[in-house]
Each structure stands twice: as C-alpha cells, then as structure tokens.
Structure 1
Amino acid sequence: MSAGPVKFAWGLVAVLLAVWALTTFVAERTVPTLLLTYFVLPQVWLVPTVAALLLGAWRRDGRAVLGGAVATALALLLVGWEVPSPSPGSRSFRLMTYNIARGTGGAAELARVISRAEPDVVCLQETNTVLPGVLRDLERRLPGYAAARSREVVVLSRFPVTGVQDRALPDTTRRLLRATVRVRGQPVTLLNLHFTTVLWRGGWAGARDRRAAQVRAVLQVARQTRGPVVACGDFNTPPRGLVDAALREQFSNAFAQAGAGFGYTFPARAPLVRIDHVWLRRASAVAAFVPDARASDHRPLVVDVTLRR
C-alpha cells in the first residue's frame, strides 16, 4: 500500500477540522477568518475530499477510504448540507421569507412565486421598490392578506395583525419590523429584518461591529417578548460564524431543523450560499424548503411552523 493516498486523505481531515474551528469559533473576530467564513465558498472542499475517497477506493486502501469518507463528511458539514429532523406535530402555519430585490422582477412574477407556495404569512425585504406602485400592485395581486409595513420590510398575514412596532436597526437606515399576529387564538411575534452586509464601505471592522449591534438588538427584542417568536429575513449570514452562533443562543434554525440538502438562497439563478433564514423560539419547523424561483436575486425560504403552548 502507498502512503500517499493515506496522507492526502487524513491531511484533508486536518485542514477541514481547522477550517471548521476557525469559521465557528474565530470567524468575524479577525479579517482573515472573516474572509474565510463569508467569502471562501465551502464547495471548494468537496472536490479534493471526493478525489481522496475515490483514490483510496482505486488503490484498495482502507485507511485512505476511511480518511476520504471522514473528509467528505466534514466538507458536507461546511457546505451546510442538512439532514432533516423535523419536530413532530401538525403545521400551525406556513411562513415565507423573501428578499424581493426592490421589486425589480415585477409584481406579477413575484405574486406568482408567493401564491404558488400558499403561505399564511409572508415576510418581505427590500420592499423600497425601484418603480413606484410595485408593492401596491403586489399586495393587490395577493388578496386576503393584512399588511404591516416599514421602510424596506413588509409582513403580509392571513391571520389578524394585532400589533406593529417599527424600529431602526443600529447604525443603519434598515429597519426591524415587529408584528404580532394571532394564529388560531395564540399570539405569535414576527421579527422581519434585513442585516447589513460585511461589505460595508466603512471597512471590515466597522461592518462587523454594526452587524454585532444589530444581532444584539434582535436578541433584546426577543428577550422582551413572551410566547412564540419568529425572526426571519435576509441576515446576509451563512450558517456559521459568530452571528449565527449568537442567534442560536435563543432560537433554532428552521432549515437546519427540517430542511434537506443545501437550502441555498442566493444568487437565485445559481445559488451558492444560504443567507436568508427563519429562526424559531417556542416554535418548531415541521418542513422547510427553498422553491426554484427567479423573480428576485434571492430565492424564498418556506417553513411550516408548529407552535408550542
């Protein structure tokens, strides 16, 4: 047996463990690890890991095959491959979160995408449309929904909307829209938001600090809220790093819980990252999926939610 395939496979395991640790525990704390977390597409690791697995099988080297299998499993973890473990129970309501790219796809196509999924609640981002009247036309094409509106985020609900609070996210013009809906007699708080990106013009450190402040604001609102809370929107955050870890302290990620596969939402034509999320507290996901839709530069995320009493 040649030592080459074994060293190659287990060397990849060591590298991938280091990447996982850096993107999980260091992440946004330094510029290099921030770039590794957000901008090095983890799909690049699948090519050498699968090659190591195949090379070990071709050489009939069990140690190399084992190393390749472990490396491939780690690569799938890094790319966000999910195996569903949905909560038991029936669906209380279906929610869609969708960044509509300021309506550039047109109201008719956006309405078709939304109607096809049949959501009870729709959380839209980038509703400050390029052309006047697009949002109004979209709402007209979706009858039966009550609306709660802010500057660039909107909640549409088939359930009664019993409370609305609009507040600014820290250090940005973007908004956090808090809407309370009554789902079969039970109040549910929706937090619809759109975080700034790490590509903020003030520099990496400034963007990191602003995003951390925005996460703290969301968590503070959640702590002050009783009952089920759903935080959803365009977080501009992959399912790793410190922003993701902070949210997991109070919430569970719906796609990680009930989705299958990658669940990538951006860019719509050839998705490579999952940056649109639904986070649940005192609620669980029984199903989660990303429709193949191209009316925006994002794809929507749809989640079937069951509530906890």
Structure 2
Amino acid sequence: MDKDGVFRVATWNIHKGVRGMGPTRRLEIHDIGHGVEQLDADVVCLQEVRKVHRREQSHFARWPAMPQAEYLAPEGYEAVYRTNAVTRHGEHGNALLTRWPVVNHQHEDMSDHRFEQRGLLHVEIRVADRPVHVIVVHLGLIPGSRVRQVDQLRRFIAREVRVSEPLIVAGDFNEFGGSLSRTLRHDGLIEFEATRHPTFPSRLPLAQLDHIYARGLAPIRAEVPHGRAWARMSDHLPLITDFRF
C-alpha cells in the first residue's frame, strides 16, 4: 500500500511455469518471477502453481529447487500455497504472495467431478492493523460446475468472513460471459468495470477470464500489462486492480 492509501491486488494464472507441449516446451518460471516483481502488488493471487513435478524437474536443468510459490515470492513477501490437484508426477494449486503479515489460512475442496480437481485458498492478512480476507479461486471448465462452485464460494464467504471485514476474491473464473459476476454482486462483491480487461489468450487477448472482486474496498483503476514478454510467460495475462484502502 502506498502513501496515498492505494492497495494493489494482482491475479495471474501462470500455467505451471511452462509453455508449449512435448519436447519443445520451454520453462518460463524464471521470467514469471521477474514479472511478479514488476506487478508491485501488495497481494498477488496465483493459479496453476506447481509444488512439485518430478517429470518436469528431470526435463529442465534450471527447474527451481523450491516450490514455485516460494520461488516467485519477492524479497519481503510471504508465500501461502495449498494443493488443488494431485497428479501422476506431482501436484499443483493456488498460491498467494503478500507483503503484509499472514494471520491464518485455509483451503476448501471445490471439485465438482472426478476429472477436474479444484479448490479455493482463503488467506487472512493484516493490513495497517485491519484484517483483510483474500480468496483465490480457479473454477472449472464446465458451465454447470462453475455455477455450483460459485454457490459453494458464496456459502464459504457467509460462513467464514465477517461482513464488516474487507474481502477480495480473485482468480481464474473460466467464464466468457457475465452471469457469475452478476451473481457475486448480490453479495456485495464488485470489480472495476469502467472498461473491459481481456486476459486470455495472452497472445491475442479476447476474453476476460480473470477477475478481482472486492467487498468493503473501492476499486479505483484496473489494468492488464501487455507486450511480447508478458504473452510468452503464460496463456493468461495478469490482471491488476488498485483499491482505495
């Protein structure tokens, strides 16, 4: 948060730090680390983050020795990671990087069927002596699954977050329309909507799959960084939103 009381939040699906397929795939996690630093956000919400992957570790000579969430955390930030999916060679999930102290965190499984393992990460941080709740989500590919997952998200918020405390919900919603946004607005969750901010696909962004919603904080501007370097790192571009704290 800067001297004017602006609180910056970013969300980014990092595609597990690797682009491409097969033997020609390339490791992008090092450049993603530089990208996270350039975002200069108080909180960075990440999806598709590897904790470990034995096949990729053996394939890439420069695969980081530590889990990706810890590797990507800039100096002075704390990293929180929780697994969504366990696969044959490793596991991946959501992560949160924060320059403010972490009070506590928890995870809830949001898997709607056995072919997609999904979850939410809830982190409570302390910002200038105030509690702020951040929920990182990565919703499913099937429309019906997303509807049920948003209903589960709303129940989780009602159960775990006091109405009087600021809340941010950010991540990859995998939705090309606006129905989920309208649903969340019923619970007071809003986003900066002055202009559209397409984030996918990164090389020619046409759809905004990534969103940052808030309750108890006023969004004042939003942006998506563009350029060849950003487009190379992941199939999604990051989304940044500044809030008046």
Shorter-chain TM band: 0.7 to 0.9
What TM-score, normalized to structure 2? 0.77
Matched, 1:266 2:200: yes
Q: Number of paired residues? A: 206
Query: Within the alignment, does 1:191 sit opposite 2:135 as a pair?
Result: yes
Q: How do residues 1-309 of structure 1 correspond to structure 2 at under 5 angstroms?
A: 90-104=4-18, 105-128=27-50, 131-132=56-57, 134=64, 136=67, 139-140=70-71, 142-151=74-83, 152-171=93-112, 172-198=116-142, 207-208=143-144, 210-224=145-159, 225-226=161-162, 227-241=165-179, 243-256=180-193, 259-260=194-195, 262-292=196-226, 293-294=230-231, 295-307=233-245
Give the secondary-structure state (helix, strand or coil) at the position aligned to 2:49.
Answer: coil
With over 3 angstroms needed to count, the CA separation of the structure-2 counterparts of 1:138 and 1:221, relative to structure 1, is closer
Instruction: Indicate conservation of the 8 Å contact 2:197/2:223, yes or no.
Output: yes
Distance 1:120 1:143, change over 3 A: same
Normalised by the length of structure 1, the TM-score is 0.62
**Higher strand proportion (structure 1 or 2):** 2
Structure 1 residue 239, shift from structure 2 partner = 4.7
Identity %: 30
Offset at residue 286 of structure 1 (A)? 1.5
SS of the counterpart of 2:11?
A: strand
Q: CA deviation at 1:140?
A: 3.5
User: What CA distance in whole angstroms lies between the structure 2 residues aligned with 1:304 and 1:228?
Assistant: 14
Contact 2:124 2:134 in 1 (8 A): yes
Deviation at 1:255, TM superposition (A): 3.0
Specify every segment of 5 or more residues in structure 2 that has no aligned partner in the other structure, as ranges.
19-26, 58-62, 84-92
Q: 1:189 to 1:138 in 2, by over 3 A?
A: closer
CA contact (8 A) 1:230 1:280 kept: yes
1: distance between equivalents of 2:68 and 2:189?
Answer: 34
Higher Rg of the two aligned structures: 1
Q: For 1:84-138, what per-residue CA distance to the aligned partner results, in whole angstroms no more than 9, with x for missing partners?
A: xxxxxx4442111000001115222101211112111110000036634546366
Higher helix share: 1
Q: Secondary structure at the residue paired with 2:199?
A: coil
Per-residue deviation at 1:170? 4.1
RMSD of the alignment, in Å? 2.1
Confirm or deny: 8 A CA contact 1:111 1:138 kept in the other structure.
Answer: no
> Which stretches of structure 1, 4 residues or more, deviate above 6 A after TM superposition?
none
Tell me if the contact between 2:50 and 2:67 (Cα under 8 Å) persists in the aligned partners.
no
Name the CA distance, whole Å, in 2 between partners of 1:138 and 1:149.
6
Separation of aligned partners in 2, 1:144 and 1:300: 21
- Note if contact 2:192-2:220 (Cα within 8 Å) is conserved in structure 1: no
Tell whether the 8 Å contact from 2:76 to 2:99 is kept in structure 1 after alignment. Answer: yes
Match of 1:39 in 2: none
Residue ranges of structure 1 left out of the alignment (5+ in a row): 1-89, 199-206
8 Å contact from structure 2 (residues 94, 121) kept in 1? yes
